[in-house]
Each structure stands twice: as C-alpha cells, then as structure tokens.
Amino acid sequence: MADKVRNTASEALDGVLRDGMTIMAGGFGLCGIPENLIAAIHEAGTKNLTVISNNCGVDGFGLGILLGGAQIKKMISSYVGENKLFEQLYLAGELELEFNPQGTLAERIRAGGAGIPAFFTKTGVGTLVAEGKEVREFDGERYVMERGLKADLSIIKAWKGDAEGNLVYRKTARNFNPMMATAGAVTVAEIEQLVPVGTLDKDEIHTPGIYVDRIFQGATFEKRIEQLTTRPRAEKEAV
Amino acid sequence: MAWTRNDMAARAAKELQDGFYVNLGIGIPTLVANYIPEGVSVTLQSENGMLGMGPFPYEGEADPDLINAGKQTITELASSSYFSSADSFAMIRGGHINLSILGGMQVAQNGDLANWMVPGKMVKGMGGAMDLVAGVRRVVVVMEHSEKSGAPKLVKRCSLPLTGAGVVDLLITDLAVFEIDGGGVRLTELASGVALEEVRAKTEADFAVAL
C-alpha cells in the first residue's frame, strides 16, 4: 500500500502546488477549515489560484491569508461577507468572483466527485444565477442545468483519521469537506488525531480512504470562532 | 402601533406546527425560536449541516466545531444529527423541510423575492437563500413594510435581482400579514392599531382584503 502519511503540511503538499491551479478548500466560515494547509500554501507563495470554498475566511485568518498574499485570482463561493480585504480587492478588479447558491455549490462538488458532469436543479430558476444556462422543464416545473466541479487539489480538515486515509469529522466541522475529498485530482487531509488503523469504527467512517491521497496530523489548530455567542450562566440554575 | 421586531417574530412563530422541520434565516427570523408556541415541538435545521439546533452555549462552553449558518456558536440536543452540506441541501431542495422563515428586501405581488443583492453595492452572496426558497415547502418572509426612505417593499415587480421567482407563500411586515399565491396577494391581518388606509398608502402591490 502507498504510504499516505506525511509529517507536516508542507510535506503533504510537496510536488503538488503549481501556479494557476484550482484548489477546493473545506470549511464553513472558519469552522472545519484546513488551517495548516492554508498556511503552508501561503508560505509556498503559489499564485493565480482559483479557490472553490463556501467562504473566503476573515482578514488575516483562513483563506483570508491567501488574499493577503495576493495568491488568489478567482473565488467560487456562496458568501464572502466577512472579509474587508476581499471587498477591496474585488472592487479594485484584482479578484474574480463567481457566486453559487450554497446548495448548488455543494451539489456541483458532489457531482464532480461522483462522475456526474451536470445536473438540473430548481435553485436559481428565474434569477441571475440561471442566465446563460440551459433551463429545462420536468414534470411541469422548470430546472436549470449546473455543471459538476472538480479541482486539481482538495485540501480538507477532519477530526480523526488513519494511515488508510479513512476520516471522521466532528459536528458542524464536516460541512463541505466530505464532497471536496471526492472531487480533487489530489486530496490532502489534515486531521487533529492520527489513530492506528483498525481503531476507527468501520460503520462510522465518513470519508473512506480511497478519496484521500495524503494525510497528516496538524501541528496546531487555532480553531478561531467567528461569532462567539453565549447565554449567561445564571440561566443554568433557572432551568 | 406597528409591530416591533419581536412582535413580527412572535407572529411568524404561529406558522410553526408540531413536528415541523424548520429553517430560520438570520435577523428577525432567528428571533422566532424564542416564540415557539407551547405544546409545539419543531426541529430546527441549520444549513451548514445540523438538525436539532440547541440554544447558545453557556459562557466558557462554546465549541468552535459547532456553529449555525450565521456562524454563531450553538449547542446540540439529545436528538441532534450532523451531516454534510450536500446532504443538508438535499433535505432542503428535496422538499423535506416544512417551513423556511427568512428576511426580505422586496416581495412582489407574484410571490417573487429579492433579498441578496443591491446593484452598485458590494455583494456578499446569496448563501443558501436561493436553495431554501426553491426547495422548502412553505416560505414565510418577515420584513419591514417600507424602506427607511419610505419606499414600499411590497411591490408590483421587484426592481432588485431575485432570490427566487414566485416563491413567497406568506409575508409578515410590521404593519400586516399577507398571503400570496397564484391568485395574487390577500391582506389577512393588520398589526394591532394599524389602519387599512396606512397599509394601502405604503404598499405598491395590488392586494385584496380578507380580514
């Protein structure tokens, strides 16, 4: 068996990065993002990237650091509202942007990884999203054709993984990671805990190892919180 | 007296039925969770991949791996489940969610909704709104009746880019409640102390009165 395990993010990306490539990056907001791999791409200085990710991080963290390094040429996202630098670069014409409805983005990636070149959805019919795309009627309702999406490289984040590349995600940090794992020509996974093969419950593996080419345990996970919302302790007694 | 944001949320909560799976948008719709009627049990879906959203965590107990679609830290319930974004939108697009409550910029008399983009301003993106209005069985919009400028938001035809065409089933504003279907718009309730004349004066869309 090919050895998939690497020691660091830069080792895991060795020989994979090139200018102008398309990268899928998992995560929703800052939740479940491959922060070690993003930092390594920043360090490598790879340029003219097309990045497919639901969001684009925040200023100075997540994919935001690749914007800071002027490494991204184009973003394919559903929502980018949390990032001032993004806005500046976009308004200055230095960044291309393609908005996809979130569910369409998720399904395009799922389809890309599953060998489905296109599909029809009712999301976006009659809106700007459908412009220039084939619209077809099925059973009396109109649907718009969307294309499957693939990438040269998928960078994803999981909670636990093993040397086979089997992955388990944690809570809402799963989000786009499982589909992106299937849609990259090369998929690199960073995990919080590398566990011995055989210790993950085989019935509870979210991403089977076939989709993962390289895997490493991240050095540190900052796991920054975007909107910390809590309720006061006093309520606890009241309940 | 027009309804406050909380009044509007409380009115929207009356649309919840026992056993419903519900997706609440950001802003006033989020407040609806505070007004779930007694004896009604609903399951809240968060489109980033969770069914059974719990309340905000206690101070010091926030988990960065557990957020809602507004990126706020939340908690899980005994009944919660997690899934991928593709599964989440399969639920939404596939018509498995009973009710979506979301905000609006404009609603037209044919049920069109605009709530994601103002031309000439920085566009943040539509997120999951287009999928929700296209796929969820019943779509309720909660918004102020007029712009700050006084311009009407319930209009004959949306001037802003659409989020969905012919998707709105019920509109709740600070002045009134409107049902919308193939037959047009029907005003069914007035906010307490609001006169029909005021609603007429502040509405561009044609509507029937069915109080």
pLDDT tens digits for A203-224?
A: 999 999 999 999 999 999 999 9
Given a cut of 50, whether residue A239 has pLDDT beyond it is no
pLDDT tens digits for A149-198?
A: 999 999 999 999 999 999 999 999 999 999 999 999 999 999 999 999 99
Residues of B in contact with A171 (CB under 8 A): 50, 63, 65-66, 76, 82
The stretch A7-30 carries a mean pLDDT of: 98
Which parts of chain B have pLDDT scores under 70?
Answer: none
Q: Is A224 within 8 Å of chain B by CB?
A: yes
Nearest beta carbon to residue A236 from set B58, B83, B164? B58
Contact B93 A231 (CB under 8 A): no
Amino acid at site B44 = L
Query: Is there a contact between A188 and A169 (Cβ–Cβ < 8 Å)?
Result: no
DSSP states of A7-44: SSHHHHTTTT--TT-EEEE--BTTBT--HHHHHHHHHH
Contact B49 A124 (CB under 8 A): no
Query: Is there a contact between A183 and A60 (Cβ–Cβ < 8 Å)?
Result: no
CB contacts < 8 A (A, B): 186
Given a cut of 80, whether residue A234 has pLDDT beyond it is no
Q: How confident is the model at residue A235 (pLDDT cuts 50, 70, 90)?
A: low
Given a cut of 80, whether residue A236 has pLDDT beyond it is no
Contact A30 B83 (CB under 8 A): no
B47 is catalytic: yes
Q: Of B42, B106, B27, B104, which Cα lies nearest the Cα of B72?
A: B27
Strand locations in A43-166 (E):
49-52, 72-77, 96-99, 118-121, 135-138, 141-147, 151-161
Contact A78 B125 (CB under 8 A): yes
State how beta strands A22-25 and A151-161 pair: parallel
Question: Quick one: pLDDT at residue A91?
Answer: 86
SS3 content of chain A, % helix, strand, coil (to 5): 25, 30, 45
Cross-strand bridge partners of residue A136: A143
Q: Which of B47, B144, B189, B197 is catalytic?
A: B47
pTM, 2 dp: 0.96
Cross-strand bridge partners of residue A167: A161, A207
Residues of B in contact with A176 (CB under 8 A): 84-85
State the complex-level ipTM.
0.96
